[in-house]
Structure 1
């Protein structure tokens, strides 16, 4: 494809997504935050506009674009301050759908992917447990085979899309005689399965519109057809998909910071103090310059990583660098932006306050930033 034409298509898609966010999200987002959930009907609207799982191949119902189109949706939602929506979409379009695309058999792909593209089926990935966060080795959820059946038991927590999802990709230990890394499998669990129960929609500091739940599995009966990928090979599969997940988080982080910078810039140009606009103060101008520089630096790294991912050459270490660096930057820039608002920045009526509370979790999920540094440093020491 002609690179210039390719870029034009991305730009046109961005214009469409930006207009959609302003028309279909902005008027309703405050209510979604109060409801602690995004209506399922909205997912169908996104599906109609080709904004879900855009890079899924046409044979499975997608548009067959590349990774950049998925990221446009995340970028525009994040830049507008709809971080909860960006998180929900990342889990659905860039994690769950690609687990199925890359690990599923043909029957699984045809069963789930077209409905994920249309928004009829919302996906959730179920890894974290009350006693095991970033440490998947401590996982307790297990599936035991009896004849032709598997019985799944355990619980998960902090699960994004937990209330809305109808498909749950559940990590469970299937061989208790070995370490979790060698005895972990992934199961496709439909939300109407007997023995499956959604717990409470958790009360969070931020990202209120993202339904985040506890989940419980009590003798959920599954079959071999419900295993995603190789039996006992789930841990390796997870590791293979993590670079994409972490890059998506980095992309959202940079756009979120960029949105906060825009709000702060507009505010200080209009706010009068000390006989003129705040932009007359050198300290304010320098703060804006620092924030803008950080955004551009991390945007450049993300663009490099996007290219590598599309070439299937993005390493775990580089993706970890992008994730931890971008989310650290995101929190610092948004804190600086809020500071420029003074006391008004602390008021919930000003959107910058939501940017602030929504950003904090980015350094935790997808693997804490401390885990990212551990991954990077191990590679450096080993080389």
Structure 2
């Protein structure tokens, strides 16, 4: 039976991405983890295949698809077992570049979008700060008018693609009189702009092949044509894209969880134990069956939320459910998969060991579970 959420085009896209992941990502992921970065050529290869601009207009190298295409991409990247690679790509395609697509002028789109869809220009989004993550209202980075331009000062933290990125969409407070999250503006800042630097590359528990950085803005001057959208209205653009970001993170989490279950099934069906194999033990069979059911439920929750988003429906509650449920569930799945691998599950040579480290951030990044539960509660 055909999946009601996916057209034949999206089904073919899924198969194409899965083949690419198996041929071009899985064999090289360990080396990228060791190096702490994903080679730029990988972005270019994915750009050539059309994977980087699926949601954007054809005239800029895109395919004019909708949210369901992002879900397909995120799920299949999640299956690669290298969460850092998945994070780098999804930040580029679904967390940073949508700011340009959503509110960019035709001139800005023509200037920057072709590089993004081709993979020649890697982008990042800089909202989070040392003291302001999910709480955007706590932002301290400032931008003040200076003649026909703006001068930005501040620090951003935990920025994916921060070290090797080319184009950064930076949120800064432009109206200090505005209360809370109001008075924020988004600026496009290019690598090499005077005063803009990488403070330091951050050393993480997981996502080792994803470069994550602290960014410093020291009197960074940009012209007015680097403003995305309206001055002081950037918070609304940030909130709008949070829905897309949280949906793709949920899809990525379910791809990871499904792959971990498959790897664990292969292991327990082959691992000798007590005169048989581990799969013979009912407690293991039942726990994996339970997790498989939960992952299927999570996957359907992702699909439903993404479909609503593609139809232009209000889906903040559903997307918040996706982020809260899937972010927690992937960690529960990884715990069991490591447990059922026994000692091997604690060895760096075993994919589930890496996947368990990579998954921990899923309950934090893009909106912590506790914040998401509050968003759900407001709408009950």
Rounded to whole Å, the distance in 1 between the matches of 2:6 and 2:319 is 24
Instruction: Give the CA RMSD over aligned residues.
Output: 1.6
Unaligned runs of 5+ in 2: none
The corresponding residue for 1:302 is: 302
Rounded to whole Å, the distance in 2 between the matches of 1:44 and 1:323 is 30
The corresponding residue for 2:139 is: 139
Matched, 1:232 2:232: yes
- Say if 1:44 and 1:119, in contact at 8 Å, map to a contact too: yes
The corresponding residue for 2:97 is: 97
Unaligned runs of 5+ in 1: none
- Say if 2:94 and 2:245, in contact at 8 Å, map to a contact too: yes
The corresponding residue for 2:55 is: 55
Cα distance, 1:180 vs structure 2? 4.3
Rounded to whole Å, the distance in 2 between the matches of 1:54 and 1:195 is 34
Matched, 1:200 2:169: no
The corresponding residue for 1:286 is: 286
Matched, 1:107 2:80: no
Deviations 1:355-374 (A, max 9, x none): 10000001111011111111
The corresponding residue for 1:349 is: 349
Q: Which runs of 4+ in 1 moved over 6 A?
A: 2-6
Aligned residues: 379
Matched, 1:312 2:301: no
Rounded to whole Å, the distance in 2 between the matches of 1:345 and 1:207 is 18
The corresponding residue for 2:165 is: 165
Deviations 1:274-321 (A, max 9, x none): 001111111111111111111111111111112101101142121111
- Say if 1:173 and 1:180, in contact at 8 Å, map to a contact too: no
Rounded to whole Å, the distance in 2 between the matches of 1:3 and 1:303 is 10
Rounded to whole Å, the distance in 1 between the matches of 2:4 and 2:286 is 35
Cα distance, 1:55 vs structure 2? 1.7
Rounded to whole Å, the distance in 2 between the matches of 1:72 and 1:297 is 16
Q: TM-score, normalised by structure 1?
A: 0.96
Matched, 1:378 2:378: yes
Rounded to whole Å, the distance in 2 between the matches of 1:180 and 1:195 is 27
Cα distance, 1:4 vs structure 2? 8.3
The corresponding residue for 2:76 is: 76
